Amino acid sequence: GAVVSQHPSRVICKSGTSVKIECRSLDFQATTMFWYRQFPKQSLMLMATSNEGSKATYEQGVEKDKFLINHASLTLSTLTVTSAHPEDSSFYICSARQPGLARDNEQFFGPGTRLTVL
């Protein structure tokens, strides 16, 4: 299957700083990428949908000015958590769709990024 990578896998930062997380589709071109957030013992929550070359669509309750998403190429999307605070500490997971598949809906998930804000 297709591979999606994330970098970094783990990051610790101070409150008030910004953190950038990269999501790459390694062996396919992804026109659409998704960002999820997962708090301990909870399920994945969709944050936003990112289409290459256009603005991301954010889910209700997700601050677009705080979680900046850039999808500048077909293999890379970035999520920047601006002015991070301890409540932003979470497991961030990206996912990418591979167009052209018969089922046309398969999403491939990255391994996740553990963000800890001190």
Partner 1 sequence: DAKTTQPPSMDCAEGRAANLPCNHSTISGNEYVYWYRQIHSQGPQYIIHGLKNNETNEMASLIITEDRKSSTLILPHATLRDTAVYYCIVRVNNRAALIFGKGTTLSVSS
- Applying CB under 8 A, which residues contact partner 1? 1, 4, 6, 32, 34, 36, 43-46, 49, 91, 93, 95, 97, 103, 105-112, 114
Residue whose CB is less far from partner 1, 54 or 105 = 105
Residue whose CB is less far from partner 1, 17 or 59 = 59
**Measured from the CB of residue 15, what is the shortest distance to partner 1 in angstroms?**
23
Residue 80 vs residues 16, 18, 84, 106: alpha-carbon distances, Å: 13, 7, 9, 25
Least Cα distance to 31 among 117, 112, 101 occurs for: 101
**∠ CA 6-10-14 to the nearest 5 degrees?**
125
- Rg over alpha carbons for the chain, rounded to the nearest Å, is 14
Residue whose CB is less far from partner 1, 9 or 83 = 9
